[in-house]
Structures are given as C-alpha cells and as structure tokens.
Structure 1
Amino acid sequence: MEICTIMTRLGYGEEVRRWRVEKWREFDRLMNAYDRLVHARSLITNINATITAGSKAEGLTCIYENDWDVLLVLGDVLCVEADINLLTISDNIDVYRMDTMDTRVYPGHCRLLQERPAAHARHGIITQALCDNGYGGVLLSSRLLLDEFSALQSTHNAYVEHHERAGPSMPDTIRGFLHVDKVIALRCYCPSILQRWADRRRNWPSPTIVQKVVSLGALVTPVGFKGSDYKNIEWRICFNTGEAELINNLNETQAKVYVILKMILRDIIKPNNKEITSYVLKNIILWQAENTPQTEFHSRSLLYWLHDGLKKLRTAIEKKRLCYYMIPERNLMEACGMHDYQQHKWVADITDMLEGMPNVFLRLEKIRKAIVASPEPMMWFSKTRMELEMLQLEHTNRALEIIVTNGEVDDSDSILEQIGSRMRDLSIQVAQRMFLKVSPANQLDDIINRMLM
C-alpha cells in the first residue's frame, strides 16, 4: 500500500496517467492537422501521420523522462494480406502483398511484394527501395528504405542533433535534453492476424476494447529478424496503437507493476545492448492481464503481481522464450544477443530479488529517494513537478493550436503568457527551495527541464 502511494507521488498515479494520454493524443491530432495544412515536414514529405508511441502514449513517463518514440507513417502506401481484394483499394495507393507463408520468414515478420503501383507518381524513397526478388517480382527492401530515409535526416537544424541510426530508429536530441526516436512505418491491413488474436478466450480486455484494438489495425516497420539471412528485405508487423490502447486499459495496480519492472530492468539488471527490453516486460504484463480476472489486481496485491512478473521474466531468460502477445508464434527472446554468462547472472539476480522482495525497492533510485525523503518536501516536490508537466504540455499544445489556426506563432496570446508566467513562478520557488540564486531566463528553463526528466 505504501509503495502504491509512493508511485502516485512519483507521477505514476491513475489521474495523471489518464491526463498524459489525453494530452499526447491532442498533440498528435494538432501536429497532423499542422502537417496537412502546410503539406510538408521538416524531415520528410508525404508522411501521412505522426503517432506518439511507447511510454508517452501510455501516460507512464513525465514529458522529458525517457525517450519520446514517434512513428512516421508514410502516406499512399498499404501492405495487405494474401486474400485481400485489391478492387476495394483506391488506385492512388501503392499496394504491397505481405508474404508471411515462406518458411524462411520468421513469425511476426513478412516480405513485401509489389502487387500494384499507385496510379500517380510514388514516393521517391519507395522507388529507390525497390529490388528484384529473383523470380520476376519486385520486393520493397526494408534496408534500402531505411538508407533512403536516413539520407533525409542530414537537414541542418540548430536545435536538433542527429545521431547514428539504431536499428530502424533515427534518434535525435532536441535542444540538448529531449531525446526522440523516429521510426518510419507503413500501414498494414491484416484482418486474419488481428482476428486470431481477438478470438482467444480471455479474462481481459473487454469485448469492446478488443474490437477497438482490431479497428486500430497494424503497421509494418523496416526491421527484419535479427537471425535471418534475409533481414534486409524483411519487415516487422507491429500493433503500436492497439498495444497503447491495451496498456491504457490496465488498472492502476497493473500499470504500477509495469513501471516498477522497468525500474528493475534499468537500475538492477542493466542490459548493455537491449538483450532484454521494456517491450519484453510489456508483454509479460499483457499476458498477466489476459490470463487473470481484473478483480485480482488491486493495491494490496501489488507485491504479489510484481513477484509473479519477475518469475515470468526469469523463466523467459532461462528458457530464452517469451511469446509475443499479439502473435504468439513469435518468440521475443529469439536472437536477443544474450550470452550464457549474462543469462546465468540475470537468473541468479532475479532469484535473489524474489527471495528478498521488499528490499528490492531500496535498490531502485527513484523509489529509494522517495522513501528516505521527508514527507512534506516530497509532497511539495511531487505537486510542483506535476503542475510544471501539465503546464508544459498545455503550452506546447496551445502553441501548436495557434499555428494551425493562424499559420504562425502568436507569443502575445494571453493563455500562453499566463502559462509562461506560472511556470516562471514555480521555477523560482524551486530555486529558492534549493537555495539557488538565479536570474537569467535560461537558468530557470534549466530548472524546469531538470524537474521534468
């Protein structure tokens, strides 16, 4: 019960989680409206949609905490399953058939065979990514598309630092502190895969949410199976928007267990090269939720479900197997790059954690600081941090809304002025609490940025 209270104070409570989800959805809506208005982007043209994914879309991190995952969905391109009638698809759409039946294609992945080019000129990066499959057909290469997309990242921007590509991700750092992972994606119509997931017997989620997840569809991203000889022409089938909807429908205890597991991964297990990722933990939580009545998840059972989640993680590491929640045939631990010595160490570490469970919390930096902090300063810090985060997101969305409406930023907007004034007042209060003497605006901005990390 005490850990549940501490997690709420740290910004992982139900109310602030729901608020974050709504504000990031609003941001995506405004950003896409802006892009439709100007018909261009700073990085790449003809992107159909920007989608905030990962922990931001799930409302589980503060605005500058962890990376901001962004999907850039290419417009006028559609990938379809084998039995889809192309007559139902507009001639202006570039259509690719998903090959998932080839025995050389690992579950959850596919190859994209050109089925029908668009009636109008296609995207330049698509044209440059086409290759011969050796049998008279044309494949869309994931590697070539990534190379073409990477070349567009060279645009100079004083506020953006571009980093080396990491898998399918194009990492940026904005203004020196906001880390963004951009991944290009194509829309994918695969009703049979989603229906197989929907038809499973389950305790959770409700039929209404199941149908919503199905309606959100799928994407393919340019990343092949790590152990494949053909990974340069393979694509991964993803359900980012559907998975975000599922995480958003976890109850408060389930969400907190998920966040604590991620803290354990970061602070204790510490994988160096993503041998174990937070995505593995997300799938453990989703399986946990599906197989258990929702009434079993409450604040008094948090320790039990954390213990259960760690046991499932230990089993996944020990056996090098964890079924992907949306496509169980795909093993998330396959070709994860985990060495034998890492496997033995992490199994032993998790066993120690299971045997001394309450002490685990003292090894997690954020929770330990909250436990040892004096109650009054901790409450003040929590309240101030949440208010600053709300103001920052409101400011961002308001500024974007003004651009969409008027075509330019209006710094004289009364709402922006009031938000800015309140943020300055709060940052001055923080400085006074820290016995800092600050006057320049950039010092106050630095305080705000550090508070929101």
Structure 2
Amino acid sequence: MAESGIRPDEPERFRRQGSVSSKQDLIQWENASVETCTILSWLGYGPEIIQARRDIYREYGKRCTAKGCGFPTLIITGSKGEGLSSYLESDVDQMFILNRVICLEDDVNSCAFPGEITVLRSLSRRSYHGHCRLLLERRGTDILREVNDAFCDDGFGRELLSSDLFVNNWSKVNLVQGEVQHERAGPSIPSTVNGHLHWDFVHALRYYCPNILSKWAARPRHWPPPEVTQRVVSLGAVLTPVGFKGSEYQHVEWRVCFNAGEIELISNLNDTQTKLYVLLKMIKNDVLHPRKKEVSSYTLKNIVLWMAENNPQASFHKKSILQWLHEALDALRVALITLELPYYMIPERNLMATTGLDVEQQRTWISTITDMLNEGPKMILRLPKIRKALIAHPEPFRWYSGRIIELELLMLMYMNRVVICRDENVKVDYTDAIFQALQRRIDEVITDVGVRMRMEGTRVINADAIFDRILM
C-alpha cells in the first residue's frame, strides 16, 4: 500500500452496520451472548482476575525498576500487562526503557535536559509512517556501552543510532541460570527459562512527540473519555529498535510505540469490549492459526480500539457481545481483502502493509471468516474452550475454574515475592515466611486438583504436569 493510501474516512469501517434480521434472531443472539460472557468469566477473563493480573504485573515492573535504582524502567507489556492471559498462556513481554537517553521530535527544544542525558533527534523524512531515524544531537556524559556502540555514520559525517546494532548489543548480556536465548524477533530478544517460561525482552528509548499525541487526542470520539485521553498523552511514547520491512533504511529505523498508553486504553474498555478482544484472540489462535503473525493480537486490538472509539459505549453490553464479534470479524475480513488497517494511534500507518500474507492464505482466511459470519451465534462453537465449557457439567467446571484462578494468583504473588526477597547478588531468600506460605498453598492446590483428576479417571503423571496443564 502506498503511504498515502489510507483515506481520511477509513475508521468508518468500524461503525456498527447491524446484523440481526428479526426479533427471534435477536433473542437467540442475546441469549448466546449472555452465556458466552458467563463462560469467559469462569475461564479466567472476568473483570476481577483481569484487574488482579494488571495490578500484579504493574507492581512487578515497579519493584524490578526499584531494584535496579530506576535504570532502566521496566514495564510488562502485551497480553500479560493487559491482564488478558494466564500465567503460562503466552510470552511475558518485558520492555526496558532507558532513562539516560531521550529522543525528540523536530521542533522540540533539547536545552532542558541535563548533560548526562544523551539527546537524539528523530528524522521521519523518507521513513514510513510511525517510523523514524535517530540522529545524535548530544552525547551524554553517562552513556551505556550498548548505546554508544550502536552509532554509525550516515554518510554525511553525522551519527545515526542503528536499531540493528542496538538489538545485537543487548543480545550479548549475561543470561540467568536455566535461560536459553533464541533468535531475534523484530525488536525483541526472546528466551525460555526452565523450559516453560517464555520471555520477550525489548530495550526501548523514550520519545517526546507532542505533535503525534496531540493529533491523536484531538480526534472526535465516543471513547475514551477526556480524562483517559489525557492520561494516555501524559504516558508518552517510546521508540523500539525495528525498521519498516523493505525500507532502504531498515537497519537504522525505529518504530514509534505507545505501550503504556495502550495498556491504559485496554484497561478502560468495559467488560464486554474486553471479552470481545479475548474472543478475537481465541479465534486467531484456534481457528486461523497464523504461522508468521500475518494476523496478530495487535491487529485485533486495533480493531477493538477503533470500534470502541466510533460507537456509543452503551451499545457494548453482555447481550450484544456476539453481534459485536460479528462486526469485528467483518472488519478483519475487510482488512484481509483490502490489506489495509489503520494503526489506532497513527492512522497513516497501515498495519497490513508488511504482513507477508500470501494469496492462498488470504483466500483461506477470508473464506473461513465468511463462513463464521454466516453461522450466526453458532460460530462461537468453533472455539474449543467455549465448546468444552458448554458441554461440561457445571459443578466440576466451576470447581476446576476456581482452583485454576487461585493457583494463578498464587503464582503471580510468588513471582513478586521473588523480587522482594532477592538481594543485590540476585540470591533469593527462600526462608521468607510469606514465601513459604505461598509455596505451601500452591502445593495444596496442585494436590487437590491431582486427587480430583484421579478420582474422575484422568491419567495424571506428576505435580509438574498438573501445573503446566492447568496454567497453559
């Protein structure tokens, strides 16, 4: 798609079109919607457990930041930071924001920053929307080797910060015991710890870009409300080390991101909008099965954010979730047909521009989504978690759900306690009373689940297998 290919009226596609033809159909859609919302809450996507996850991961980031004396700032991003995935369900996305480097838009004055701060100036000319290059304006007196060694000459005697060199420099840091590092994936350095904990590490730079944020904030909208809009603006932006695929400057380009602001936005979706996002993620994982993130959770998040902005909040309620799922899938189908989807924060950036989607996969997904749209509320039966919950006996289903949610909360508290009880040599004091109480209760819950599984005839190998099975 050409850079000018996104039309000013593009978000109109996310306005509700209406998909129910009769009163009888409406009742069927509403009843199925209410049941789906109830099941999603029991599956661990109710507002209380989601908020608990957000709070614990936010606290984890603050404690890790404090342990490192604020250098750098750690935030948990992605589905974990949003509270929308359980303990072992997906990767833990950790973003380290360097506090001794600041990047500035063209017309922002750099005089206010102290001498120890390295100042970089963004150059967006000749870069795709939402991307830029970083020109050194002032080298700070306190500069990390990983940053200093990432500068390269631009051919005119000026120094550019190379995103490729930056990522490669951070890939050389020491690993913790039991950690295996994998190949770079975009801006991140993935690794696995103890065989089942998957981490994605991204090192990012603060970006002061009032022009971009004020343009976003000025849009007419149903949502978010003004106070949330201002909080998002105050959280600012970061630059992550990844260029626009296919650009001649890819190795020195950086992408503009709003991770903290997007977590704030997701946190301010109502219960129905949040569950809509969860259902779309389930469809991606269990129906579409993308191989190379041709359709990602980020794609789906942007569809939900556009729909929330362009429609009255009162229309999103537990009786309407499947109608909204129908609308969201139709928006995804249009995006796959046109290969156009505007980024919510910077609409000029097309999220489908570099998906690498081949024609055969495109046809298959369009056909699958069209079939789902024609199935009406029955489309929800394509999702294994929902289908199994519908046919399960209510009592054992609720019993297991309660234990799973308790075990997850215990593990999250355990995770935070590890940080609290860790000294400057990264040695953990396992004699801590709270630490031991958490471990005892974790063992009790796993034992209770194992006993019940055996009573019901399930073949259980060991406690570790139970742990992995119920927290995936």
Same fold (TM over 0.5): yes
In structure 1, runs of 5+ residues without a counterpart are: 38-46, 437-441
Asked if residue 21 in structure 1 is aligned to residue 54 in structure 2, the reply is yes
Asked if residue 115 in structure 1 is aligned to residue 141 in structure 2, the reply is no
| 1:407 Cα deviation from its structure 2 partner | 8.4
Which residue does 2:248 correspond to in 1?
229
Which residue does 1:402 correspond to in 2?
421
Which residue does 1:136 correspond to in 2?
157
Q: Which has the higher contact order (CA 8 A, sep 6+)?
A: 2
| 1:448 Cα deviation from its structure 2 partner | 2.3
Alignment of 1:172-183 (within 5 A): 172-183=191-202
Asked if residue 148 in structure 1 is aligned to residue 181 in structure 2, the reply is no
Which residue does 2:90 correspond to in 1?
66
One of 41, 57, 80 as aligned partner of 2:81: 57
| 1:121 Cα deviation from its structure 2 partner | 4.5
Q: Which amino acid aligns with 1:213?
A: V
Could you give the per-residue CA deviations for residues 146-194 of structure 1, whole angstroms, max 9, x where no partner exists? 1212222xx3543111111112211111111111111111111111101
Q: CA RMSD in A?
A: 1.8
Asked if residue 105 in structure 1 is aligned to residue 127 in structure 2, the reply is yes
Q: Is the 8 A contact 2:117 2:142 kept in 1?
A: no
SS at 1:134 equivalent: coil
One of 73, 85, 89 as aligned partner of 2:113: 89
| 1:372 Cα deviation from its structure 2 partner | 1.8
Q: Distance in 1 between matches of 2:48 and 2:169?
A: 42
Q: Is the 8 A contact 1:33 1:404 kept in 2?
A: no
One of 321, 333, 351 as aligned partner of 1:302: 321
One of 12, 23, 40 as aligned partner of 2:45: 12
Q: Which amino acid aligns with 1:149?
A: W
Could you give the per-residue CA deviations for residues 212-237 of structure 1, whole angstroms, max 9, x where no partner exists? 00110100001011121211111000
Which residue does 1:78 correspond to in 2?
102
Which residue does 2:297 correspond to in 1?
278
One of 214, 219, 240 as aligned partner of 2:238: 219
SS at 1:300 equivalent: coil
- State the TM-score, normalizing by the size of structure 1: 0.93
One of 373, 376, 390 as aligned partner of 1:354: 373
One of 104, 125, 131 as aligned partner of 2:146: 125
Which residue does 1:311 correspond to in 2?
330
Q: Is the 8 A contact 1:76 1:93 kept in 2?
A: yes
Q: Is the 8 A contact 1:30 1:404 kept in 2?
A: no
Q: Which amino acid aligns with 1:432?
A: V
- State the TM-score, normalizing by the size of structure 2: 0.89
Q: Which amino acid aligns with 2:76?
A: T
Alignment of 1:161-200 (within 5 A): 161-200=180-219
In structure 2, runs of 5+ residues without a counterpart are: 1-33, 456-460
Q: Is the 8 A contact 2:100 2:142 kept in 1?
A: no
Q: Is the 8 A contact 1:321 1:332 kept in 2?
A: yes
SS at 2:172 equivalent: helix
Asked if residue 393 in structure 1 is aligned to residue 426 in structure 2, the reply is no
| 1:71 Cα deviation from its structure 2 partner | 0.7
Q: Is the 8 A contact 2:421 2:430 kept in 1?
A: no
Number of equivalences: 435
Q: Distance in 1 between matches of 2:354 and 2:437?
A: 52
Which residue does 1:43 correspond to in 2?
none
